[in-house]
Amino acid sequence: MDKPKIRFKGFEEAWRKRTLGEIAPLRGGFAFKSTEYAPSGIPIIRISNILSDGTIGAEFIYHQEDANDENYILHDGAALLAMSGATTGKVSILHCKKTDKYYQNQRVGYFQKVNGIDYKYISTITRSILFTQQLYNVLVAGAQPNISAKDVDNFRFYVAKDIAEQEKIGKLFERIDTLLNLQQRKCDKLKVIKKAMLSKMFPKPGKKAPEVRFEGFTDDWVECKLGEIGNTFTGLSGKTKDDFGHGQASFITYMNIFSNPITDKNLHEPIEIDKKQTEVQIGDVFFTTSSETPEEVGMSSVLIEKKGITYLNSFCFGFRPHIETDSFYLAYMLRSFCIREQIVKLAQGISRYNISKSKMMNIALTLPSLSEQKQIGAFFHKLDTLIRLNELKLSKLRLLKRSFLEGMFV
């Protein structure tokens, strides 16, 4: 087949097979005389700047000696390839001001522009599925994966003959990449806001009020221990691997609790009904008991809704409040910095870290009035919902890009 499945209207001519070396030969980076760096000069793109998501990291290290070979200067739109290391084979496009100049070091390759070929089209080819497939065939694996420019130049593709078609394809993917970058920034910004609010909307140790409060609330928060407002219960016990994967009941998995401040009811796993086990209730809080790092021990999740008879997995323990509290407030308060800091200090272990229920019950909390709890809980729940919606948009854009990459190249 010498024509793609998806094409712009008005183009029907067959594509011709070319090597990458014919349309965009790969050139190695600048051979610097020194390995010393200084905070001034022309910025150098190193292998560490080529990130796994196909972007270029913002932090550049500057060479001590001014590079002066005009043949090696990169400008806006340059397509760069990581030729060794963890990101070997990743292609990134340099986005900068038209007047900015950059160099790349020897471990970063640069696809040169050839007359009669649209450069944006080249950058799209080098991030296509076909490029990745050919890359795996020549990749030298090991502790330091690498590829050679000669092998990459031999990659073969069907290429649109009409430069007008190349330009349309290049501009389409440039637009998709722009939307992806904007959407990613939006997601990142929302997460930064959440992180900041988790620090400011809950009191610091020794304080009776947070830095940021909703209007109308001025009372001091009440200090207490976690064990003073509820009781613990255990997860599933006496089970073997044959008991899981079937049945009319379900159980909440470790990863569901670890990953979500609000338990996701759609991620429960099936199990048989067993009246000897403790059934969870709406409003229960779950804690993970172990992890590979102390920073990930004691992650919490609150049950807001459930479907049918539900149990808790055996690698976590439950906590059931006996005073009226807002579940959304508990979900985010228990993941706030002041609480997580206390929990991490309780983690014990060497290769794997654990935490005990009894010590967890001594965690110090501060509780506002129920009405203020509800305001705070609703704020973080809405913020999390907004983050999920934007992450969903980001996923859809990535799928759209992938489908075009598969359909618009032979």
Q: Please provide the DSSP assignment of 30-48 as one string.
A: ---S---B-SSSSEEE-GG
Distance (Å, whole) CA 135 – CA 154: 10
Last residue of a domain, one of 131, 162, 193: 162
pLDDT tens digit sequence for 299-345? 999 999 988 999 999 999 999 999 999 999 999 999 999 999 999 99
Residues 146, 238: one domain? no
pLDDT at 50: 83
- Which residues in the chain come in under a pLDDT of 50? none
pLDDT at 37: 59
Q: Is residue 410 part of a domain?
A: no
Distance (Å, whole) CA 150 – CA 27: 10
What one-letter code names the amino acid at 183? Q
pLDDT at 100: 77
pLDDT tens digit sequence for 270-292? 999 999 999 999 999 999 999 98
Distance (Å, whole) CA 113 – CA 277: 67
Q: Where are the beta strands (DSSP E) in 198-268?
A: 222-225, 230-234, 244-252
Domain range holding 325?
Answer: 222-367
Q: Where are the beta strands (DSSP E) in 53-141?
A: 61-62, 79-82, 91-93, 103-104, 108-111
Residues 109, 241: one domain? no
pLDDT at 385: 96
pLDDT at 62: 64
pLDDT at 360: 93
Instruction: Identify any residues that bridge with 320 across adjacent strands, giving them in sequence order.
Output: 231
- The pTM is what? 0.80
If residue 333 lies in a helix (H) or strand (E), which one and from where to where? helix 327-333
Residues 122, 236: one domain? no
Q: Is residue 372 part of a domain?
A: no
What one-letter code names the amino acid at 309? I
Distance (Å, whole) CA 202 – CA 196: 11
Torsion of CA 103, 108, 109, 112, to 10 degrees: -20
Torsion of CA 196, 201, 204, 207, to 10 degrees: 150
Residues 150, 20: one domain? yes
Q: Is residue 400 part of a domain?
A: no
Q: Is residue 180 part of a domain?
A: no
Residues 152, 230: one domain? no
